[in-house]
A = this chain, B = another copy of it.
Amino acid sequence: MAESDAAAPAELTGALADRDYREAVVDLLAVVAYGELSAFERLVEDAKLAPTLEDKLALAQMAGAELAKVQPLIDRISKLGGDPFAAMAPFHEALDEFHAHTAPADWHEGLVKAFVGDSLARDFYREIAAFLDPDTRDLVVSSVVEGQHSAFAVDRLRQAIADDPPLGGRLALWGRRLMGEALIQAQRVAADRDALTALLVGGVDRPGLDLAALGRMFTRLTERHSERMAELGLDP
């Protein structure tokens, strides 16, 4: 992360004056930014599967909400002395692979993916908020707005499953697959990015990786995913 190796910008104090911490935060903001940007692209792509123009617009608006989160993250990375696009580069492969392995076959799979992806991102932001300095935390938490947009996906899915119960079985499997692919890529990112992982498991003052703590976070994320699938009326 050559872009963070420079001396700290003068206005950075507290945890942010620490180069390792700053590197970790830049990494974190970069993975979130690229995650939102790639989610935007895929949601627009998946919106092509919509049965009506109204549904297409609703999914496009959900995509637009993801896109709107990107610029503040980029601005924050720049303020921390990072190069936003260089910082995102290490995460392209994991996120692109996630999307390549989870291309929805139809509109309902697309809706489940939109809902699951959006919810999982919110849960992840809440998990990491505790480990962040106040300014970065505010930025991350502010993007966890309760989604009027994903409420649309829940409504549509509940109705579709009520109309066609076998669809529920197929979408339950699809939900499991989405979560499995997300975990595969998350583990990969965690293994590749030491500074980021150190931040996530409890602060840069703890030496080495604590894979058990990271595992517990993944377990919590999985549990919440299961609860949400149950809310949809799907067998998690």
Contacts and interface: CB of A to CB of B under 8 A. Distances in A.
Copies of this subunit:
2
Nearest to A41: B44
Identify the interface centre among A67, A70, A71: most chain B CB within 10 Å of its CB: A67
A85 B44 contact: no
Contact of A53 (B44, B56, B71, B85): B85
Nearest to A84: B54
Interface stretch (A3-11, A57-65, A200-208): A57-65
Given A54-B85, A60-B67, 11 more contacts: A37-B56, A37-B57, A40-B60, A41-B44, A41-B47, A41-B60, A44-B44, A52-B85, A53-B89, A57-B70, A57-B74
B67 A64 contact: yes
Contacts of A103: none
Contact of A61 (B52, B60, B71): B71
A189 B89 CA distance: 45
A64 B57 contact: no
